[in-house]
Structure 1
Amino acid sequence: MAQKAAKTLAARNSSVLLRTHLITLALHALHLLLHFTFNRPRSLKYYYILAIPTLLIEFYLDRIGRPRHNPADGSLRSPGEDLGAAGLTEYMWDVLYWTWGCIGAVCLFGDRAWWLWVVVPSYSVWLAYSTFTGMRSGLAGFGGGDGQGGAEGAESKRQKKMEKRGGQRMRYR
C-alpha cells in the first residue's frame, strides 16, 4: 500500500475532472442546440465572451489536477494538485459553477440572463474591499490604518489592572 494518499488523491481528481468535463459538455451542447434548433433571438457573442474564460479555467484545472503515470509501467508518477484546495483554486471552481448556472439560465430565460455573470466581478471587488478594510483595522494597533497611534483604544484586562496598581514595575535581579 505504498503511496495510498497519492493514489486516493489521483482517483478523486480523475473523477472530479471527468464529472466536470461531462457537465460542461452537456451544458454547452444544450445551449448550442437550443440556439440553432429554436432559432431564439440569442447572440453567440455573449456566449463566446463569457464561456471562453471558464473553458480556460477548466483547462487549467485539468492541467494541474490530472494524475500523471509512467508510460513504461503505468505506475503513478504524480497525483496532481488537490482540486479541493482553498484559495485561488476554490475561487476558480466558484467561477466555473456560476458560469454553469448562467448558461442554464440563458437556456431557460434568454440572453438577458448573461447579466447574472456580473455577480462574479462584483463579488471579487467586494472581497478585495472587505479584505482591505479588515487588514486596515487589524493594523490599527501598529500605528497605521485608522489614524489612532498605537494601543490607546484597545487595552486588555491585564493592562487595565496594571494601570490601577500604579503601572508596570521593572524588577532587576
Structure 2
Amino acid sequence: MAQKATKALAAANTKRLNQTALLTFLFHAFYWLLRVLVYRSTFTKKSLLLYLLLASPQLFVNFVFERQSRPTLLPDGTIKRAGEDLDAKGLTEYMWDITYWTYGNLALVALLGDWAWIFYVVVPAYSVYLAWTTYTGMRGGYTDAAGVPQPGAASKRQQKMEKRGGQRMQYR
C-alpha cells in the first residue's frame, strides 16, 4: 500500500494523456483529410498559415502536459515521479479549455472553411473586452455612462441615522 496516492495519480495521468494524444491526432487528422481531399481547391498558403498559427497553442499545451504530467518510471518499474495533477484548478483548467476549444474549432474549420477560424478569436476577444471595461471602471472610480461618480448604496440603518442628524457621540 506504499504510495497508493502516487500510483493512482500516475495511472490517472497516463490514461488521460493517452486519451488526449489520441483525440488530438484524430481531430488534426480529420482537419487534414477534409482540407486535402475534399476542399483541396480552397487549401492555400493562407490556410496553412492560419492552421499553424491557431492550432499551435493547443499543440504547445499538449507538450506542456506531456512534460509536466507524464509519470516517470525507474528501470525496475516503480514510480519515480507521478507528475502534476491534470485535474488541478487554475492554469491547468485554462489549458484544458484551450485544448477543447481548439478541437471544436478544428472541426468547424474542416467542415465550413477558413472563415470559421473567426470563432477561435471570440473567447479571447471577449476576455480582452471584459478586462478593458474593468480597468476603465476602476480608473474612473466606477462612474455611470454620463461620467457621474456613483456613491456606494447606504443600508437602511445608515439612511435612518442620517435622517435623524447623523451619528452622535455620547460622552459619559
TM-score range, shorter chain: 0.7 to 0.9
C-alpha contact (below 8 Å) 1:34/1:40 kept by paired residues: no
Which of 95, 102, 106 is 1:103 aligned to?
Answer: 106
Aligned pairs for 1:134-173 within 5 A: 153=152
Query: How far is the alpha carbon of 1:157 from its aligned partner?
Result: 8.8
Q: 1:133 to 1:66 in 2, by over 3 A?
A: farther
Instruction: State the SS of the aligned residue for 1:2.
Output: coil
For 1:38-64, what per-residue CA distance to the aligned partner results, in whole angstroms no more than 9, with x for missing partners?
A: 214134221111112211111011111
Instruction: State the SS of the aligned residue for 2:42.
Output: coil
- Match for residue 122 of structure 1? 125
Higher relative contact order (CA 8 A, sep 6+): 2
Instruction: State the SS of the aligned residue for 1:80.
Output: coil
C-alpha contact (below 8 Å) 2:57/2:98 kept by paired residues: no
Counterpart residue identity of residue 67, structure 2: R
Alpha-carbon distance in structure 1 between the residues aligned to 2:13 and 2:132: 33
RMSD (Å) for aligned C-alpha atoms: 3.2
- Which sections of structure 2, spanning at least 5 residues, go unmatched? 144-148, 168-172
Aligned pairs for 1:62-73 within 5 A: 62-69=66-73, 71-73=74-76
Alpha-carbon distance in structure 1 between the residues aligned to 2:70 and 2:142: 43
Alpha-carbon distance in structure 2 between the residues aligned to 1:29 and 1:96: 15
Instruction: Extract structure 1 runs of 4+ deviating beyond 3 A.
Output: 126-134, 152-160
Alpha-carbon distance in structure 2 between the residues aligned to 1:27 and 1:112: 18
- Which sections of structure 1, spanning at least 5 residues, go unmatched? 137-143, 169-173
Alpha-carbon distance in structure 2 between the residues aligned to 1:52 and 1:26: 16
C-alpha contact (below 8 Å) 2:36/2:43 kept by paired residues: no
- Match for residue 21 of structure 1? 21
Number of residue pairs aligned between Structure 1 and Structure 2: 163
- Match for residue 46 of structure 1? 50
- Match for residue 12 of structure 2? 12
Query: How far is the alpha carbon of 1:145 from its aligned partner?
Result: 8.0
Q: Report the TM-score, using the length of structure 1 for normalisation.
A: 0.73
**Mapped pair 1:79 → 2:82:** yes
